[in-house]
Amino acid sequence: MTKCKRKSIGTHFSSCVQPAFIIGTNNEDGSYEFAPITWVSATNDKDWDYHMTVSMYGTKRTKTNALREKKLSINLVSTDMLRLMDYLGTHKGKNGKKDAIPYEVGRGEVVDVPVLEASRWVYECEVVKTVELGGSTTFFCKIMNIQVDERLDPKDTFDVDISLLDPVIYSSYYYKLGEKLGQIGEMSKDIKD
């Protein structure tokens, strides 16, 4: 490995390389609301009881709905959904229904939440805890169901072909994945302790 030369750039840069998601919630009138959020990660409570964490800043309608309803969907964004994500992120739900471009909406199979039919990986979640930090709210969400594209047939957590998901990666700009590099343990299996 080559030694990396680094420099300090201050704390106002927060470049987090993350997959992009669109969060789905129910409005008070029963209609749906979607907002792109990239502050999404996984954690677990005990054993294999996984939770998703979703952090939302500001006063988004999606955030208000999630606080009220205690449920949401987390829809992975693939590159073919990029235009939709960009549109949903640049048009506020407070200004009315976001329907200037067509997209299909379904319902969760276990949790009554709106889901994007184009998404290849969808988490249906119930909010179990929230943490406030400044203008951000972090939602700890129990995964109640996962819907995946039928082309995916994962045997376990480590057997997901990310290339089929074709996720949008966000870090101030939109990116897509390059190539698969290998499995855990493959790169160092020849090293003897």
Distance from C-alpha of 171 to C-alpha of 18, rounded to nearest angstrom:
7
Sign, CA dihedral 57-61-67-71, equals: negative
| CATH topology classification for 18-176 | Pnp Oxidase; Chain A (2.30.110)
The answer to whether the beta carbons of residues 77 and 22 sit under 8 Å apart is yes
Per-residue pLDDT of the chain (193 residues; tens, 9 = 90+): 888 888 887 777 666 778 999 999 999 999 999 999 999 999 988 777 889 999 999 988 999 999 999 999 999 999 999 999 999 988 876 666 778 889 999 999 999 999 999 999 999 999 999 999 999 999 999 999 999 998 887 777 677 888 889 999 988 888 888 776 677 777 777 877 7
CA–CA separation, 73 and 146 (whole Å): 10
**What is the DSSP secondary structure assignment for residue 63, as one 8-state letter?**
H
Domain boundaries, the chain: 18-176
This prediction has a pTM of: 0.88
Task: Judge whether 148 and 154 are in contact, CB under 8 Å.
Answer: yes
3-state secondary structure of 101: coil
